[in-house]
Amino acid sequence: MLGGYRREIVGRVLSLMDGNRNRLQHELIALFGRNRVEMAEALDVVDLDLTAPVMDAVQAAADALLKVSGQPHRQRELVDGLDDTTAFVLCMWLLDTGFAGQFYGQAA
C-alpha cells in the first residue's frame, strides 16, 4: 500500500512539474517567439561560443526583465531591443536555469 501511495505522490509531482514546464514554454514563446524557443530547446550550451561579455549582457537582460516582472508588454519591448545573440542565450537560460552554471563555464 505504501508503494502505491508513493507512486501516486510521484505522479502528482511529475504532473505539476510538466504543467509548469508547459506554462513556462508558453510564456517564453510569447516573449521570444516560437522559432527562437524551438531553436533554444534543440541546442546544447556546449555548441555555443559564449564569451564573458555575452554572459554579462545576458545577466543584465535577465535583471532588466525582473524589473518589469508582471508587465508582459514591457518585457516584450525589452527582448525586442536585445541583439539576437543575447536574446537567444537568455531564452536558453530561462528554458533551463540548471544550465546557468554551464553557460558561465563555457564563457570562462
**Mean pLDDT throughout 13-23?**
57
User: Structurally, how many domains does the chain consist of?
Assistant: 1
Tell me if the pTM is above 0.85: no
> Average model confidence (pLDDT) for the chain?
77
- Please name the helix (run of DSSP H) or strand (run of DSSP E) that holds residue 85, with its range, or none: helix 84-95
What is the C-alpha separation between 26 and 63, in angstroms, rounded?
21
Q: Is the pLDDT of residue 5 over 50?
A: no
Supply the range of the domain harboring residue 44: 2-107
What is the pLDDT at residue 25?
A: 83
Q: Is the pLDDT of residue 104 over 80?
A: no
What is the C-alpha separation between 25 and 34, in angstroms, rounded?
9
pLDDT tens across 43-76, in order? 877 778 788 898 899 889 999 988 998 899 999 9
